[in-house]
Amino acid sequence: DAGVIQSPRHEVTEMGQEVTLRCKPISGHDYLFWYRQTMMRGLELLIYFNNNVPIDDSGMPEDRFSAKMPNASFSTLKIQPSEPRDSAVYFCASSYPKGDTLNTEAFFGQGTRLTVV
Amino acid sequence: KQEVTQIPAALSVPEGENLVLNCSFTDSAIYNLQWFRQDPGKGLTSLLLIQSSQREQTSGRLNASLDKSSGRSTLYIAASQPGDSATYLCAKNAGNKLTFGGGTRVLVKP
């Protein structure tokens, strides 16, 4: 398997524009996670899905952020409108159960570096 | 209070020295603890996962221990090499989602 695939790798956009980040999880993984990494706050969980259903979106910072998972092989994270403070690296990760359904090992994509100017 | 803490934030050692990286966490009700490596501008690579029932896990020069009662995990890297230079992050899994420490940035000098 090619691992978790994210696109684009880099995105530069102007404030106010809509940004869509994409993720293809590892085939067979039941869980998909979106994380954001900044120097100030480190890695933070934004939202995660189980079997395409959003389970916990308490980390989504504002209504400007939304995420979807229309099928088991694709997810999007959308920011509309984007602001300079959204500049960060956004990671997608997927995982599968190890025995206990909560005992999961996570695998990360290469990330999307977003710059909002 | 930080749920997961990694101290020190940065570490520099000469090549060949053993590395000891510390991770402390609150709430001992974890399912597993995972150690990752992150190179600059790259994603996270999973190094080791220790399940809550285990006390340690080994892979090559890497050994990770877990003490749930004290809320600590330690990653040992034997005979460090310049290629080990990276940021190392630990993350606790207390129910599917991972909570990360701030990471330890390691520099191994030739």
A5 close to B (CB below 8 A): no
Closest CA to B28 of B73, B56, B87, B68: B68
pLDDT band of residue B27 (cuts 50, 70, 90) is confident
**Per-residue model confidence (pLDDT) at position B30:** 85
pLDDT in tens, A18-61: 999 999 999 999 899 999 999 999 999 999 999 999 999 999 98
A73 close to B (CB below 8 A): no
A111 and B43: CB-CB below 8 Å? Answer: yes
Residue to substitute from B33, B42, B44, interface A, most A β-carbons within 10 A: B44
**Per-residue model confidence (pLDDT) at position B1:** 55
**Per-residue model confidence (pLDDT) at position B97:** 81
Lowest-pLDDT choice from A68-77, A98-107, B75-84, B98-107: A98-107
Mean pLDDT of B16-45: 92
A108 and B97: CB-CB below 8 Å? Answer: no
Query: What would the DSSP string read from start to end of B44-72?
Result: EEEEEEEETT-SEEEETTEEEEEETTTTE
A45 and B97: CB-CB below 8 Å? Answer: yes
Q: Residue A88 — φ and ψ, nearest 5°?
A: 180, 180
Residue to substitute from A9, A55, A92, A108, interface B, most B β-carbons within 10 A: A108
**Per-residue model confidence (pLDDT) at position B24:** 96
pLDDT band of residue A1 (cuts 50, 70, 90) is low
Cβ(B77)–Cβ(B21) under 8 Å?
yes
Task: Answer whether residue B96 shows pLDDT above 90.
Answer: no
A chain contacts of residue B98, beta-carbon cutoff 8 Å:
33, 45, 93, 106
A49 close to B (CB below 8 A): no
User: Strand, coil or helix: what is B41?
Assistant: coil
**Per-residue model confidence (pLDDT) at position A96:** 83
Query: Within 13 A of A86's CA, how many CA atoms are on the CB side?
Result: 29
**Per-residue model confidence (pLDDT) at position A98:** 67
pLDDT in tens, A59-84: 998 899 999 999 999 999 999 999 99
Cβ(A54)–Cβ(A47) under 8 Å?
yes
| Cβ-based interface (< 8 Å): residues of B facing A | 31-32, 34, 36, 41-46, 49, 51-52, 89, 91, 93, 95-103
pLDDT band of residue A86 (cuts 50, 70, 90) is very high
A39 close to B (CB below 8 A): no
Mean pLDDT of A13-17: 97
